[in-house]
Amino acid sequence: MRKKRLEELRAILDLYAQKYNRPDFIEDDPISIPHRFLKKEDIEISAFWTATLAWGNRKSIMRSAGELCRIMGDSPHEFILSHQEKDRARFEHFVHRTFQYTDSLYFLDFLQYWYRHHESLEQAFTRDERGKRIQGMEAMLNQFHAHFFSRPEVPDRTRKHVSRPSGGSRCKRLLMFLRWMVRRDQQGVDFGIWNEIKPSELMLPLDVHVERTARRLGMLQRKTLDWEAVVELSEVCSQLRPDDPCLYDFALFGMSLESE
């Protein structure tokens, strides 16, 4: 992409990023669920589960994620660490689209195992089984998938809820979760509570809203919405803002809402 066009795009996207990367964005977005909490682990757990449920309209996502937190007594970390198997029965009637009781049971099993052995979910992305540092977003997402499905007796139906680039997926929900955890600025929307992953390493969560705007602006040419499309769009955003490419997630998403 030519320098002049990049400068034009930067001017447009900076304007809309400033408009939408604001505290008043939080209230009507699923990120409002983890914003209920102050404890790092509570933020991580509620954010991960909220992002996992992020398909459908935003109100439905927020309603379901809020119900999950209520089931956990609005203390996700304490519940995950201390609950017993009998306590999992309270999730029996929780359903969000195709996410059902079987999936909740496996999520609870993994999260309990992980937090009893690690301080943060961040290491599930950044460290392999031997503790060696993982480099590059694609490798980190694949590593998280390996960690997440390392527990015994993984239900086949649950695998569709946590994706990986090696399967060709856009990994939209995981990339959104990572944006929430890693990005940091003075606006207070994203949390910026993780330090091993740099904001410059983030890649854009490519949903239908972002796709629509990116195509209109000429930032995305690939026809298939897959991992390669994420790479293409993220590379353009990295040219525009190398230190913080995911700032433009706000701009692309917000522009799409205004065009509806």
**pTM (predicted TM-score):** 0.97
What pLDDT is stored for residue 147 in this prediction? Answer: 98
Residues facing residue 99 across a β-bridge: 96
Q: pLDDT above 90 covers what percent of the chain?
A: 96
> What are the two backbone dihedrals, phi and then psi, of residue 55, each rounded to the nearest 5 degrees?
-140, 145
Reported as a single tens digit per residue, the pLDDT across 80-103 is 999 999 999 999 999 999 999 999
Query: How many whole angstroms separate alpha carbon 43 and alpha carbon 56?
Result: 22
Reported as a single tens digit per residue, the pLDDT across 17-55 is 999 999 999 999 999 999 999 999 999 999 999 999 998
Q: What is the pLDDT confidence band of residue 260, given thresholds at 50, 70 and 90?
A: low
Least confident of 117-121, 178-182, 253-257: 253-257
The residues, any chain, with a CB within 8 Å of residue 92's CB and separated by 6 or more, are 101
Query: How many whole angstroms separate alpha carbon 120 and alpha carbon 147?
Result: 13
108 and 91 Cβ atoms separated by less than 8 Å? yes
Nearest to 252 by CA among 225, 216, 223, 200: 216
256 and 199 Cβ atoms separated by less than 8 Å? no
Reported as a single tens digit per residue, the pLDDT across 97-108 is 999 999 999 999
Task: Kindly tell me the sign of the dihedral angle through the C-alpha atoms of 26, 50, 39, 119.
Answer: negative
Angle formed at CA 178 by CA 194 and CA 73, multiple of 5 degrees: 80
Radius of gyration, CA atoms only, the chain: 18
Query: Which residue ranges make up each domain of the chain?
Result: 3-259
